[in-house]
Amino acid sequence: MNKEELLSRLKVIVSNYTQNKEALDSINEDTDFLKDLKINSANLVDVVLDVEEEFGIEIDNLSMEKMLSVRAAIEIIENKLHEAGRE
């Protein structure tokens, strides 16, 4: 799975939680979930659950804490897919 495809699937997930639709339109690897997308911090766990379901992976607590930006999310998803041998 290439980065573009990953990003577009991630975009669909975060679109349910963002309170800043403009930042969503210009989403890129540098986009921060809290600062740019204005996602309520309580909803970060929901983003993680949706990512798990979308990609069929399980995200551990440590990775979960780091998943605060698009870049971190993509990195974590890639790693988990790699571990599962499903790149």
Partner 1 sequence: MANRVVVTGLGIVAPNGVGIPMFIEAIKNGRSGIKYHSQLQDLQFSCQIAGRPELSTELISSCFTELELRNFNSEGILYGIIAGIEAWKNAGLSLEREEDPDWDSGTIFGAGTSGIEKFREAIYKIDEKQVRKLGSNAVMQTMASGVSAYLGGKLGLGNQVSTNSSACTTGAESVLIAFERIQSGKAKRMLAGSTSDGGPYIWAGFDAMKVCTYKHNETPERGSRPMSLSASGFVPACGAGALLLESLDSAVERGAVIYAEVLGGHINSGGQRGTGTMTAPNSKAVQNCISSALKNTGLHADQIDVINGHLTATIMDSTEIRNWCTALGRSGEHFPYINALKGMTGHGLSASGSMECVASVLQIAEGFLFPNINCEDLHPDIAAQIDPQKIPLHYHPHPIEYLAKASFGFGDVNACIIFKKYRS
Give the binding site for partner 1 (CB under 8 A): 16-17, 42-46, 49
> Between 43 and 79, whose beta carbon lies closer to partner 1?
43
What is the spatial distance between Cα 29 and Cα 32, in angstroms, rounded to a whole number? Answer: 8
Contact (CB, 8 A) for 74 and 6: yes
The neighbour count for residue 67, using CB atoms within 10 Å, is 20
Name the minimum Å distance from CB 36 to partner 1. 17
> Between 34 and 49, whose beta carbon lies closer to partner 1?
49
What is the spatial distance between Cα 34 and Cα 19, in angstroms, rounded to a whole number? Answer: 10
Name the minimum Å distance from CB 2 to partner 1. 29
Tell me if residue 69 falls in helix, strand or coil: strand
> Between 28 and 40, whose beta carbon lies closer to partner 1?
40
Name the minimum Å distance from CB 39 to partner 1. 10
